[in-house]
Amino acid sequence: MKIGFIGVGIMGKPMVRNLMKAGFELHIYARHPEKVRDVVKEGATLHESIASCVENSDVVISIVGFPEDVEEVYFGPDGILAHVRPGMYLIDMTTTSPSLAQRIYNEAKALNVSALDAPVTGGETGATAGTLSILVGGDKEAFDTMADVFSAMGTNINYLGQAGKGQHGKMTNQIMIAGSLAGICEAFYYAQQEGLDLETLLKSVSTGAAGSKQLDFCGQKIINEDYTPSFFMKHFIKDMKIARDEAEMKGMNLDVLSTILDHYQELEAQGDGNLGTQALIKYYKKEN
């Protein structure tokens, strides 16, 4: 099976590697070809355009930055949908809006092409290890057909329902992360102000009821003031805005999410958008 992959970045590059390890033939497109020379040396075929990448593939996977990037990649004159063939499969693994996922699904279906929305969670660590959680929306038959493709990239793969449901599942995940990470940052700030040693504190609480994946991933980084991104703050802000907007359309009031989004946007406004999500601790240190 020939797989086209668009968006070979922090997440995409290790996903490409894992697909090649699983025996798939990879065709890639990247806006900055110089950044993907390593995976080309490892066996991926680089194309100069999305059109060429799509035309040489049976399945096309995309994982780009923002909803506007998804729109350009799928609906632009040189976009994916302008160059598909009947019977192909499209998998958008970007975290984007459920309504955009439904639009891609509908337009693909009219071309006799199957489209799935399949956002992921697990960060760069999960992408590298091939242990991503993948939340999938679209036709169940297409989901079943793509099982081997998903298994090459993740270990926790779940079908959530019709088109857009994968994105709704990812919004739920991001709401949970926002609350968890804010709780960790607030707690660390409290502990530091009370004179506790944060290394000892982390060891004390990480295996108890307060333990979490976010504490495992971000706790030591927060202590070390290491804000290197495994997930960009600016991308998390994008996700939280989508979740907030979806909630508001349904008349839901997500107070915790809205408050944390405000905190992150303050940090982004001062130039921190390219830091990792753990840099939220800077808000607490500044405000208190």
What is the C-alpha to C-alpha distance for residues 262 and 165, in angstroms, rounded to an integer? 26
What lies within 8 Å, CB to CB, of 269 at 6+ separation is: none
CA pair distance 91, 62, nearest whole angstrom:
6
- E strand or H helix that includes residue 38: helix 37-41
CA distance from start to end of the chain = 55
Q: Name the 3-class secondary structure at 27.
A: strand
Token couple for 79: 């976009």
Q: Are 90 and 82 in contact (CB under 8 A)?
A: no
Tokens, residue 138: 């679209």
Residue 271 has φ and ψ, to the nearest 5°, of 100, 15
Out of 170, 234, 238, 282, which one is annotated catalytic? 170
- Is 170 known to be catalytic? yes
Element spanning 177, H or E? helix 165-193
Amino acid sitting at position 12: G
Active site residues: 170
